[in-house]
Structure 1
Amino acid sequence: MSKVRDFVYAVLAGVSISIGGAVYLSVDNKAVGALLFSVGLFTVCAFGLNLFTGKVCYWPGKGAAYGGWLALVWLGNLAGAEVTGLLLRATRTGAALAEKAAGLCETKLGDSLPSIFLLAVFCNMLIYIAVENYRSNPHELGKYLGIVFGVVVFILCGFEHCVANMFYFAVANVWSGKTALYLLVMTAGNTAGGLVFPLCARLGIKNKN
């Protein structure tokens, strides 16, 4: 039953990030869209949902079993993003969202794999900062500002978030073998980026001040 619950929470996380992606696509001003996108990560953190890019940061020390659990979460995120994309395509806003997403996807799929990987690494360094700040900041305002700034910065920098891209690929309906390959590279980059700070901490590379 626990795995079923974890999968459902992962699906809901995929839906939440997809709603953030939908509002980003719906707003002409990129900065405003990036700000509103943060509703996705806010929802994930506030309701304790299972988002791959957040959960992967806490892999160190948990072994291979946690890696299998992360795969379950990733699949749940993908299912949530795909369902949201399909449902939105069936609404009056679907055509506009699909057109806007198609432009984004063209840019992403036209990039080189090393570039995609590095952009994904930087993305999840910011996601770790945002999530860890939410978990540990004793100040209520600071907890939420960390989420907002982390999301806004990664979007405006053009960094790659695998779950957000699941939604863009779904709503644009551009799935192919190449799309799958790029999504896996984004996932690998997010994994590496999410582990930078936790691994440094485990190796004793800490601020002594």
Structure 2
Amino acid sequence: MSYLNPPEFAKKMIDAGESKALMSTRDTVIRAYMAGAILALAAAFAVTVTVQTGQPIVGALLFPVGFCMLYLLGFDLLTGVFTLVPLAWIDKRPGVSVKALLRNWGLVFIGNFAGALTVALMMAIIVTFAFSVPPNEVGQALGTIGESRTIGYAEHGAAGMLTLFIRGVLCNWMVSTGVVAAMMSTSVSGKVIAMWMPILVFFYMGFEHSIVNMFLFPSGLMLGGDFSIGDYLVWNEIPTIVGNIVGGLTFVGLTVYATHARTGPSRSNGVESAEEEREPATVAG
């Protein structure tokens, strides 16, 4: 069958977390670099489509193509390892320690950021003819996104920070659901359909994804956005990462693990208990 039931894909989640935690440094960084680059290209594609059509829903409908490509190629996003690797540690898999978990997160962060930054530079060159002319319409859109999602939050103070954090939580709730949903199917079409739905939700709703932001904000800085690196880190990237950890691990990883990998004992239905109580009396008679 092309569908795996919840206990089966719960085991796959733990196995995947163990594999990623124990992966070599070289493979971890390469896979993370390619994941960051492909997702950045998808974000650039979605922004381009939105600008050209004037319809954000069209860009959101097409953005998941990048996520599907990187997943099928076996590359790793920070948002995914936030959810999967801790499960291997909780399950006490051999060799998966807190140190191994943090090592994996750190290497994937570096790889994702490097990949996204590479594409940010390439896109900045494209939309400015190698910085020889002002940014075109797409470049202007990339420049303004960073302003609204840094200074825009800062203007609201603590309320803005909370809003940013919650958007990070909701983002990885959806993104990690996409990662897990792909494990439910053994066919390419099934995986793509399962991934597409939650990724569409996160992108159209404007939730905060730490890796997408690794592309959008450096692009904005290169294209004249009116915000600083400090604004980007304090009023977006760092709170977004924290929110992504909480969202993916709390609402996807731990919930699936608790109810499907470590299922609680079933309650008796009452009928069986009553029959068990009557049985000795019947035998005695």
Flag whether TM exceeds 0.5 (same fold). Answer: yes
Query: Structure 1 pair 92/106, CA: closer, same or farther in 2 (3 Å)?
Result: closer
The question of whether the paired residues in 2 share the 8 Å contact of 1:13 and 1:77 is answered with yes
Matching residue of 2:244: 190
Letter in 2 for 1:57: T
Q: How many residues align?
A: 208
Matching residue of 1:76: 111
Match of 1:87 among 117, 122, 125: 122
CA deviation profile, 1:66-94 (whole Å, cap 9, x unmatched): 22211110111011111110111112467
Distance 2:143 2:125 in 1: 16
The question of whether the paired residues in 2 share the 8 Å contact of 1:169 and 1:175 is answered with no
Distance 2:122 2:88 in 1: 39
Distance 1:148 1:22 in 2: 18
Alignment map for 1:126-137 (pairs within 5 Å): 126-137=174-185
Distance 2:105 2:175 in 1: 16
Distance 1:183 1:50 in 2: 18
Of 135-144 and 159-168, more deviation after overlay is shown by: 135-144
Q: What's the TM-score, normalizing by structure 2?
A: 0.68
Deviation at 1:60, TM superposition (A): 2.5
Matching residue of 1:177: 230
Bigger radius of gyration among the two: 2
Distance 2:195 2:123 in 1: 26
Of 188-197 and 53-62, more deviation after overlay is shown by: 53-62
* Unaligned ranges ≥5, structure 1: none
CA deviation profile, 1:144-163 (whole Å, cap 9, x unmatched): 11211111111111111110
Matching residue of 2:172: 124
Deviation at 1:201, TM superposition (A): 3.2
Matching residue of 2:72: 46
Paired-residue identity, % = 26
* Unaligned ranges ≥5, structure 2: 1-22, 90-96, 130-134, 154-159, 222-226, 267-285
Distance 1:85 1:103 in 2: 14
Deviation at 1:138, TM superposition (A): 4.2
Query: Structure 1 pair 92/115, CA: closer, same or farther in 2 (3 Å)?
Result: closer
The question of whether the paired residues in 1 share the 8 Å contact of 2:80 and 2:176 is answered with yes
Say whether 1:158 aligns with 2:185.
Answer: no
Matching residue of 2:39: 17
Distance 1:157 1:91 in 2: 28
Deviation at 1:98, TM superposition (A): 2.9
Letter in 1 for 2:37: V
Distance 1:200 1:149 in 2: 20
Distance 2:169 2:185 in 1: 24
The question of whether the paired residues in 1 share the 8 Å contact of 2:127 and 2:139 is answered with no
Query: Structure 1 pair 6/160, CA: closer, same or farther in 2 (3 Å)?
Result: same
Letter in 1 for 2:212: A
Of 26-35 and 77-86, more deviation after overlay is shown by: 26-35
Match of 1:200 among 255, 259, 264: 255
Distance 1:8 1:175 in 2: 29
Deviation at 1:43, TM superposition (A): 1.3
Matching residue of 1:4: 26
The question of whether the paired residues in 2 share the 8 Å contact of 1:121 and 1:194 is answered with yes
Q: Secondary structure at the match of 2:37?
A: helix
The question of whether the paired residues in 1 share the 8 Å contact of 2:145 and 2:220 is answered with no
Distance 2:187 2:122 in 1: 38
